[in-house]
């Protein structure tokens, strides 16, 4: 091919790529935008050169498309190229800002102080970053989670620049959501600034956000949310009525029993604007950590959700093929929220942060007035049960999976062997109970038993509820090694580990025989 032909071919490829980048900016579907970005990125160096020529743009949609392409180009090539633009004083301020934005948001490169200092107006980067995320949130509310994950990795001065840039942004529901997320974060400076900004935002959305935050923030921060809400109310801005009943909103709550490791699943099921769909907000809790997982969607097929049933009804919900089904109990909305609230208190005590998904979706359950004791059945007063009586609760199907789980069981099972004497087994259980069941572990099991007492009472099983409640009280007295409950938990754990070790040995022996 002649030199002129190569130039002409190159020009045609460039024009084709420029057109592809232009079309990418008009794509509104996130999935389709990713597919188009992948197609462009396959052009390699040619795509990178055209991308660099598009950096001088203030259009968030264009920058989003550029970022998607950059994330799919070879990292060892695109990062140095963008860093060169960001550092070059020959480039326009806008091109340098766009390069920094892509490095930050799409390539997760930390924007250091030296790069910021090279800009005539470094605050413009914070404003552009905010415009980017608000633009993305309008299309996909969950994009704020990625943004906050990246923000945590940035140096403190960048986070403060973001906070200082917020007042320059026009008020919008998405900005309120971002502020609400920041108010629930670990950075105390950002949290306080976000709460103060919400108190200055005279919109119903801001008032509702502060009302929800007052219910879900730890004690040291919730007064700030309450103060901001009072300030808005004095100015004539109030959230929608919080006295609305959950029934009128179409919410139901489903509560699993706690499993042997202390995990519990709470489902809140509501109506959806889509036909034949429902809204699902799922919260996974763990004692002693608190809320450890969350997910939600307004596009869940009603065929996959348990149908509405009277309170106290048990549901069996299938999981993946290798997992057993989850048992759920139909409970009141406030009974479900009580489980979440108690888990939240564990987050506050342990310092374990709540998941970002929970922070984003929790207005689904905290936008109405919460009455902790509403709809909770009374647990029969405990009489003088003996430990032998209370241990009967472990025969209940909801306790079938309860056993002690700890790495120390493996060493203990190996020392005991497959068929230990009763005396040696008892001695091993005593040693484990004395060394491993610390006051913190005992307190955790007490909370779990009391939560199960409430679950059993909601399931209309008062006698078992009374056993569980009494068992929790008994754990607070005497030595752990003398508790039949503790010994039974350890014994179950030993049996499981011993069986697993035996199975592992059989597999290894059979594999060895097959290979030899």
For the segment 261-294, what is each residue's pLDDT rounded down to a tens digit? 999 999 999 987 778 888 999 999 999 999 999 9
Size of the chain, expressed as the number of residues it contains: 516
- Among 68-77, 104-113, 137-146, 313-322, whose mean pLDDT is lowest? 104-113
Higher pLDDT, 245 or 142: 142
Mean pLDDT for 46-74 is 87
What is d(CA 496, CA 501) in angstroms, rounded to the nearest whole number? 9
Higher pLDDT, 55 or 90: 55
Residue 442 falls within a domain, yes or no?
yes
Residue 347 falls within a domain, yes or no?
yes
Q: What is the pLDDT of residue 243?
A: 56
Mean pLDDT for 345-367 is 93
Residue 362 falls within a domain, yes or no?
no
Half-sphere exposure of 177 (CA within 13 A, CB side): 26
| 139 and 286, same domain (yes or no) | no
| 231 and 253, same domain (yes or no) | no
| 342 and 265, same domain (yes or no) | yes
- Among 97-111, 402-416, 455-469, whose mean pLDDT is lowest? 97-111
Mean pLDDT for 412-430 is 90
Higher pLDDT, 502 or 511: 502
Tokens of 56: 């001088």
What is d(CA 86, CA 89) in angstroms, rounded to the nearest whole number? 8
Q: What is the pLDDT of residue 248?
A: 44
Residue 330 falls within a domain, yes or no?
yes
Q: What is the pLDDT of residue 233?
A: 94
What is d(CA 484, CA 276) in angstroms, rounded to the nearest whole number? 50
Look at residues 183, 213, 240 and tell me which one is the last residue of a structural domain: 240
What is d(CA 452, CA 438) in angstroms, rounded to the nearest whole number? 21
| 162 and 23, same domain (yes or no) | yes
Mean pLDDT for 433-442 is 95
Look at residues 168, 193, 213 and tell me which one is the last residue of a structural domain: 168
CA–CA distances in Å: residue 155 to residues 116, 158, 334, 426: 11, 6, 41, 55
Half-sphere exposure of 161 (CA within 13 A, CB side): 21
Mean pLDDT for 59-85 is 88
Residue 361 falls within a domain, yes or no?
no
| 224 and 332, same domain (yes or no) | no
Q: What is the pLDDT of residue 339?
A: 94
| 60 and 146, same domain (yes or no) | yes
Q: Please state the φ and ψ torsions of residue 245, each to the nearest 5 degrees.
A: -70, 150
| 135 and 201, same domain (yes or no) | no
| 103 and 207, same domain (yes or no) | no
Q: What is the pLDDT of residue 377?
A: 78
Look at residues 351, 368, 403 and tell me which one is the last residue of a structural domain: 351
Residue 375 falls within a domain, yes or no?
no
CA angle 78, 79, 84 (to 5 degrees): 100
Residue 8 falls within a domain, yes or no?
yes
Q: Please state the φ and ψ torsions of residue 109, each to the nearest 5 degrees.
A: -90, 130
- Among 141-145, 174-178, 369-373, whose mean pLDDT is lowest? 369-373
The DSSP element (H or E) to which 254 belongs, if any, is: strand 252-255
The predicted model scores a pTM of 0.79
Mean pLDDT for 491-512 is 80
Q: What is the pLDDT of residue 419?
A: 83
Mean pLDDT for 374-394 is 78
| 14 and 139, same domain (yes or no) | yes
CA–CA distances in Å: residue 33 to residues 30, 128, 470: 5, 21, 59
Residue 379 falls within a domain, yes or no?
no
What is d(CA 361, CA 332) in angstroms, rounded to the nearest whole number? 19
Share of the chain above pLDDT 70, in %: 89
| 124 and 263, same domain (yes or no) | no
Q: Does pLDDT of 7 surpass 80?
A: no
Q: Please state the φ and ψ torsions of residue 29, each to the nearest 5 degrees.
A: -80, 120
Host domain of residue 182 = 170-240
Mean pLDDT for 106-115 is 71
The answer to whether the Cα torsion of 183, 188, 192, 197 is positive or negative is: negative
Q: Does pLDDT of 138 surpass 80?
A: yes
439: burial class by Cβ within 10 Å (0-12, 13-18, 19+)?
A: exposed
Mean pLDDT score of the chain: 86
Number of domains in the chain: 4
What is d(CA 105, CA 102) in angstroms, rounded to the nearest whole number? 5
- Among 38-42, 91-95, 372-376, 414-418, whose mean pLDDT is lowest? 372-376
Q: Does pLDDT of 32 surpass 60?
A: yes
| 197 and 271, same domain (yes or no) | no
What is d(CA 66, CA 40) in angstroms, rounded to the nearest whole number? 10
| 329 and 290, same domain (yes or no) | yes
Mean pLDDT for 316-339 is 89
The helix/strand/coil state of 66 is helix
Nearest by Cα to 63 from 154, 130, 141: 130
């Amino acid at each position: 091919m002649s030199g002129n032909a190569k130039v002409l071919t190159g020009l045609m490829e460039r024009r084709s790529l420029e057109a592809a980048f232009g079309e990418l900016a008009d794509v509104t579907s996130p999935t389709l935008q990713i597919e188009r970005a992948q197609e462009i990125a396959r052009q390699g160096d040619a795509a990178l050169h055209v991308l660099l020529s598009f950096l001088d743009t203030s259009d968030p949609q264009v920058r989003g498309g550029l970022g998607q392409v950059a994330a799919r180009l070879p990292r060892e090539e695109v990062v140095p190229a963008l860093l060169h633009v960001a550092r070059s004083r020959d480039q326009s301020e806008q091109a340098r800002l766009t390069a920094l934005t892509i490095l930050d948001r799409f390539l997760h490169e930390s924007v250091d102080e030296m790069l910021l200092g090279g800009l005539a107006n470094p605050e413009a980067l914070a404003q552009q970053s905010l415009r980017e995320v608000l633009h993305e949130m309008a299309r996909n509310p969950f994009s704020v989670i990625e943004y906050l994950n990246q923000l945590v990795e940035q140096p403190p001065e960048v986070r403060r620049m973001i906070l200082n840039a917020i007042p320059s942004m026009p008020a919008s529901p998405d900005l309120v959501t971002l502020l609400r997320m920041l108010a629930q974060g670990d950075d105390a400076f950002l949290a306080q600034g976000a709460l103060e900004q919400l108190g200055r935002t005279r919109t119903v959305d801001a008032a509702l956000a502060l009302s929800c935050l007052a219910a879900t923030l730890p004690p040291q921060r919730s007064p700030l949310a309450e103060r901001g809400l009072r300030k808005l109310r004095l100015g004539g801005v109030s959230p929608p009525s919080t006295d609305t009943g959950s029934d009128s909103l179409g919410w139901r709550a489903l509560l699993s029993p706690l499993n042997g490791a202390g995990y519990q699943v709470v489902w809140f099921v509501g109506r959806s604007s889509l036909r034949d769909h429902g809204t699902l907000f799922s919260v996974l809790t763990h004692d002693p950590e608190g809320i450890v997982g969350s997910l939600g969607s307004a596009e869940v097929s009603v065929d996959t959700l348990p149908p509405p049933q009277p309170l106290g009804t048990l549901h069996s919900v299938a999981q993946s093929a290798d997992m057993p089904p989850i048992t759920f109990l139909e409970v009141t909305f406030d009974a479900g929220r009580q489980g979440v609230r108690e888990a939240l208190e564990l987050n506050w005590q342990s310092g374990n942060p709540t998941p970002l998904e929970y922070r984003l979706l929790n207005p689904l359950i905290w936008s109405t007035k919460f009455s902790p004791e509403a709809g909770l059945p009374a647990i029969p007063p405990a009489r003088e049960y003996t430990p032998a009586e209370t241990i009967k609760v472990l025969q209940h199907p909801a306790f079938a999976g309860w056993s002690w789980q700890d790495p120390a069981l493996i060493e203990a099972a190996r020392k005991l062997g497959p068929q230990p004497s009763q005396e040696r087994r008892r001695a091993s259980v005593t040693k484990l109970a004395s060394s491993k069941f610390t006051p913190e572990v005992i307190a955790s099991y007490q909370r779990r038993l009391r939560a199960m007492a409430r679950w059993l009472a909601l399931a209309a099983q008062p006698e078992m509820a009374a056993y569980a409640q009494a068992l929790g009280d008994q754990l607070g007295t005497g030595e752990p090694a003398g508790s039949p409950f503790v010994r039974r938990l350890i014994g179950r754990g030993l049996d499981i580990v011993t069986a697993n070790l035996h199975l592992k040995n059989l597999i290894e022996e059979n594999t060895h025989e097959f290979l030899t």
